[in-house]
Amino acid sequence: FKALLFLGAGSVIHSTGTRNMHEMGGLKKTMKITHITMLIGTLALAGIVPFSGFWSKDLIFAGAWEAEMWLPLAIVVITAILTVAYSFRMYFLVFQGEPRNTAHTHESPAAMTIPLVLLAIGAIGSWAVIGIFSEAMHAPIYGFEGAHAYDIMAFLEHTFTSPAVLLSLLAMAVGLLIFLALKKDLMRKPGNFFTKCAAKGFYFDALYNGFISKLKLLSMGLRKSQTGDANMNAVGI
């Protein structure tokens, strides 16, 4: 589903000629294949059942829970909540509402849409062929009597009563509620303090560039100590 979203973004940029989501909107009308496949990718990224993202997130939650790594578990739960909020923000900005400066958009060529469809199919059902899940369904589907095989109902009960899945569903619900509660603010162009900071990448680039410029000055100063004479350098070391 990550590959699907990256390729879907490329399809949208190819059609609209912009990377600015605030200049998009309403693309579901003119880019139907891209819209449906991107919606599938968005649901998978947000961890909605039964898309692949839900199951991969569940494995991470389960690993942290079983290892009693509470701080990493808290971090991934918070990350999952934010992922749901920004995933739906992207979807509504790009595909819903009325077109904004993108009235002449068109569906991408087959070279893009065919891979999108194939990846969308994977985002829906690829989890079923992963060992930990496929083993659970060997008995009812293939007649295997493996030690870890469940029937379908036992598999679903085992899955959806685990603490990891309950955490995943809770994160999904909270993220969706945050998006719905802040939908108006999240959908508008940067205006308040938070959205201005977000538009500036929370100033990470400014901090990074400031650090690099100071490091460059320090390096230029140290460079003067390099005479090119191996003996002098050895003495200095």
pLDDT tens digits for range 99-136: 777 667 888 899 999 999 999 998 988 777 766 665 55
Q: What is the pLDDT of residue 192?
A: 66
pTM for the model? 0.67
Q: 214 CB contacts (<8 Å, ≥6 apart)?
A: none
Across all residues in the chain, what is the average pLDDT?
Answer: 80
Rounded Cα distance, 94 and 115, in Å = 20
Q: What is the pLDDT of residues 169-178, one digit of tens each?
A: 888 888 888 8
Q: What is the pLDDT of residue 139?
A: 47
Q: What is the pLDDT of residues 21-80, one digit of tens each?
A: 888 888 888 899 999 999 999 999 888 878 888 888 877 888 888 888 889 888 888 888
The pLDDT-based confidence of 151 (bands split at 50, 70, 90) is low
Q: What is the pLDDT of residue 161?
A: 75
Q: 163 CB contacts (<8 Å, ≥6 apart)?
A: 61, 65
CA 190 to chain centre: 22
Instruction: Please say whether the beta carbons of 111 and 7 come within 8 A.
Output: no
Q: What is the pLDDT of residues 64-86, one digit of tens each?
A: 888 888 898 888 888 888 888 88
